[in-house]
């Protein structure tokens, strides 16, 4: 498959980028942040996002979605990276939707997928427990109790957890991990919003003797890891796309600055010390873009080692975006350190995206293990 977008995909990209830059530019993020918005995102915007078909990009048409694939999901994510728009896209439209599409019962799907697609409901995945992403080390427990289960444990970094209409909780059962669909209003569920450095949403969720019915189980008992796999792969690939978008935008801003700021009677872009770094960054970004598109296409093709391609993309895009934002602040000099300039916002967002679903070290480790070394 050629590593370029098809005509339809290009149209989607134009639509998504156009919509975002018009309706949700960086000023929208600043407004939410500075007004300390209780939701941390715009409900109206999210609704409009649903109408445009972006919120349900991967949700099948029979559930009101666009029924598209990973490449299309990545295109939207990249757009969100460029504009830094806070939205429930990752948590709800990607992670939760993928779990529900792949593993949920017909009733569960009918109850949630159309609402997610329409931007009417937010569903969040509660997976991570420690400060680092370690999906294989889940300590939250689900014990059989009554006609269902009793959940105990604590989750962190739950995207949009404080405004979630439903949570998908991963918990340890006798023979593995099981996923549960939990109403956040159930007694014993405590949710604390954690305002993040990038002014995007996350929450801590504590579960104390939370009683759920047997029909809260998503898929089969003990089969949660398999049900999560697709969601994690797609989430990581979309995070790579978002990182690429953010890195690329920070780079574009920097190049613009190199062409306008004068010191020593010259444009600073005339200094070779900066030229070579800009050229290097361009090169790295091209690699990140290729790695990301490659991973998204492999996911769509169901390629055998798609997950490893995803790890390459997440690690590469993460490192490159990190370099891009560091260079952006540095090459802006003093203004780069000011809140008024946008480059700092990119630096913060990239830091969070890097931590989300495994940082570059996590993915390098995964590759090494898969490679048998």
Partner 1 sequence: MADLETFRAETRAWLEANCPAECRGPLDNDEDRVWGGRQATFKTPAHKRWMDVMAARGWTAPQWPTEYGGGGLDREEAKILASEMRRIDAQMPLSSFGIWMLGPALLQFGTEEQKKRFLPEIVRGEIRWCQGYSEPGAGSDLAAVQTRAEDRGDHWIINGQKIWTSYADKADWIFCLIRTDPEAPKHLGISFVLFDMATPGVTTKPIELISGKSAFCETFFDDVRVEKENLVGTLNRGWDVAKALLAHERTMIGAVGDMGRPMSQVAVDSIGLDDAGRLYEPMLRAKIAELEIDAAAFRLSMERVGDQVKAKQVSPAIASMLKYYGSELNKRRHELAMSAGGSDALEWESERSNHGTPARDWLRTKANSIEGGTSEVQLNIIAKHLLQLPGA
Ligand X SMILES: Cc1cc2nc3c(=O)[nH]c(=O)nc-3n(C[C@H](O)[C@H](O)[C@H](O)COP(=O)(O)OP(=O)(O)OC[C@H]3O[C@@H](n4cnc5c(N)ncnc54)[C@H](O)[C@@H]3O)c2cc1C
Q: Which residues contribute to the site for partner 1 (CB under 8 A)?
A: 128, 130-134, 156-157, 192, 194-199, 202, 262-265, 271, 273-274, 322, 326, 329-330, 333-334, 336-340, 344-345, 347-348, 351-352, 355, 359-362, 364-365
Beta-bridge mates of residue 262: 267
What 193-197 contacts at long range (C-beta under 8 Å, 24+ apart), as own/partner pairs, is 193/40, 193/161, 193/162, 194/156, 194/157, 195/40, 196/352, 197/348, 197/351, 197/352
- From the list 130, 333, 361, 370, which residue makes contact with ligand X (rule: CB under 6 A)? 333
Stretch that binds ligand X, among 32-40, 195-203, 310-318, 325-333 (CB under 6 A): 325-333
Q: Is 194 in the site for ligand X (CB under 6 A)?
A: no
Residue 362 binding result from ligand X, partner 1, none, given CB thresholds of 5 to 8 Å by partner type: partner 1
Compute the least distance from the CB of residue 105 to partner 1, in Å: 31
Q: Is 337 in the site for ligand X (CB under 6 A)?
A: yes
- Identity of the residue, 6 or 275, whose beta carbon is nearer to ligand X in the bound complex: 275
- Identity of the residue, 23 or 341, whose beta carbon is nearer to ligand X in the bound complex: 341
Q: With beta carbons less than 8 A apart as the criterion, state whether 177 and 222 touch.
A: yes
Q: Is 273 in the site for ligand X (CB under 6 A)?
A: yes
Q: Is 197 in the site for ligand X (CB under 6 A)?
A: no
Residue 355 binding result from ligand X, partner 1, none, given CB thresholds of 5 to 8 Å by partner type: partner 1
**SS3 label, residue 4:** coil
Compute the least distance from the CB of residue 255 to ligand X, in Å: 13
Compute the least distance from the CB of residue 321 to partner 1, in Å: 13
For residues 212 and 198, what is the distance between their CA atoms, to the nearest angstrom? 34
DSSP letter, residue 297: H
- Identity of the residue, 221 or 343, whose beta carbon is nearer to ligand X in the bound complex: 343
339: exposed, middle or buried (Cβ count in 10 Å: 0-12, 13-18, 19+): exposed
Stretch that binds ligand X, among 175-183, 263-271, 306-314, 360-368 (CB under 6 A): 263-271
Residue 156 binding result from ligand X, partner 1, none, given CB thresholds of 5 to 8 Å by partner type: partner 1
Compute the least distance from the CB of residue 344 to ligand X, in Å: 11
Compute the least distance from the CB of residue 96 to partner 1, in Å: 18
Neighbours of 131 (CB within 10 A): 9
- Identity of the residue, 220 or 256, whose beta carbon is nearer to ligand X in the bound complex: 256
- Identity of the residue, 208 or 338, whose beta carbon is nearer to ligand X in the bound complex: 338
CA distances from 191 to 166, 210, 236, 249, 253 (A): 12, 13, 25, 34, 38
118 CB-near residues (< 8 Å, 6+ apart): 47, 50, 51, 55, 56, 64
φ/ψ region of 36 (left if φ > 0, alpha if ψ in -120 to 50, else beta) reads left
- Strands 176-182 and 217-218, by their bridges, are antiparallel
φ, ψ of residue 18 in degrees (nearest 5) = -65, -45
103: closest CA among 170, 198, 187, 36? 170
Stretch that binds ligand X, among 28-36, 194-202, 241-249, 266-274 (CB under 6 A): 266-274
- What spatial distance separates the first Cα and last Cα of the chain, rounded to whole Å? 30
Q: Is 279 in the site for ligand X (CB under 6 A)?
A: no
192 CB-near residues (< 8 Å, 6+ apart): 162, 203, 204, 206
- Identity of the residue, 249 or 297, whose beta carbon is nearer to partner 1 in the bound complex: 249
- From the list 193, 330, 341, 365, which residue makes contact with ligand X (rule: CB under 6 A)? 330
Residue 195 binding result from ligand X, partner 1, none, given CB thresholds of 5 to 8 Å by partner type: partner 1
Q: Which residues contribute to the site for ligand X (CB under 6 A)? A: 261, 263-264, 268, 271, 273-274, 330-331, 333-334, 337
């Amino acid at each position: 498959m050629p590593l370029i977008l098809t005509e339809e995909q290009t149209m989607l990209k134009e639509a998504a980028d156009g919509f975002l830059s018009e309706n949700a530019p960086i000023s929208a993020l600043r407004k939410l942040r500075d007004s300390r918005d209780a939701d941390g995102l715009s409900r109206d915007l999210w609704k409009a996002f649903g109408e445009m078909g972006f919120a349900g990009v991967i949700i099948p048409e029979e559930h009101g979605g666009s029924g598209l694939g990973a490449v299309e999901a990545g295109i939207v994510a990249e757009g969100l990276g460029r504009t830094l728009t806070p939205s429930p896209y990752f948590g709800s439209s990607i992670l939760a939707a993928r779990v529900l599409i792949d593993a949920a019962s017909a009733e569960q799907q009918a109850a949630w997928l159309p609402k997610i697609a329409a931007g009417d409901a937010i569903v969040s995945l509660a997976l991570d427990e420690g400060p680092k992403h370690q999906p294989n080390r889940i300590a939250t427990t689900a014990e059989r109790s009554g006609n269902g289960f009793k959940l105990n444990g604590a989750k962190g970094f739950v995207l949009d957890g404080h405004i979630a209409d439903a949570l998908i909780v991963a918990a340890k059962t006798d023979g593995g991990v099981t996923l549960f669909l939990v109403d956040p209003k159930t007694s014993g569920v405590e949710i604390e919003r954690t305002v993040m450095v990038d002014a995007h949403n996350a929450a801590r969720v504590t579960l104390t003797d939370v009683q759920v019915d047997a029909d809260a189980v998503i898929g089969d008992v003990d089969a949660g890891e398999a049900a999560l796999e697709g969601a994690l792969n797609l989430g990581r690939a979309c995070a790579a796309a978002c990182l690429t978008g953010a890195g690329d935008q920070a780079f574009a801003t920097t190049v613009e600055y190199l062409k306008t700021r004068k010191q020593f009677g010259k444009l600073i872009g005339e200094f070779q010390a900066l030229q070579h770094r800009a050229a290097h960054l361009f090169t790295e970004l091209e690699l990140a873009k290729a790695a990301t598109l490659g991973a998204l296409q492999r996911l769509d093709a169901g390629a055998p080692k798609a997950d490893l391609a995803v790890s390459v993309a997440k690690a590469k895009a993460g490192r490159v975006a990190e370099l891009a934002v560091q260079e952006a602040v540095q090459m802006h000099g003093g203004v780069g350190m000011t809140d008024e300039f946008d480059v700092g916002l990119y630096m913060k967002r990239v830091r969070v995206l890097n931590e989300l679903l495994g940082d570059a070290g996590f993915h390098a480790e995964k590759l090494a293990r898969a490679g048998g070394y």
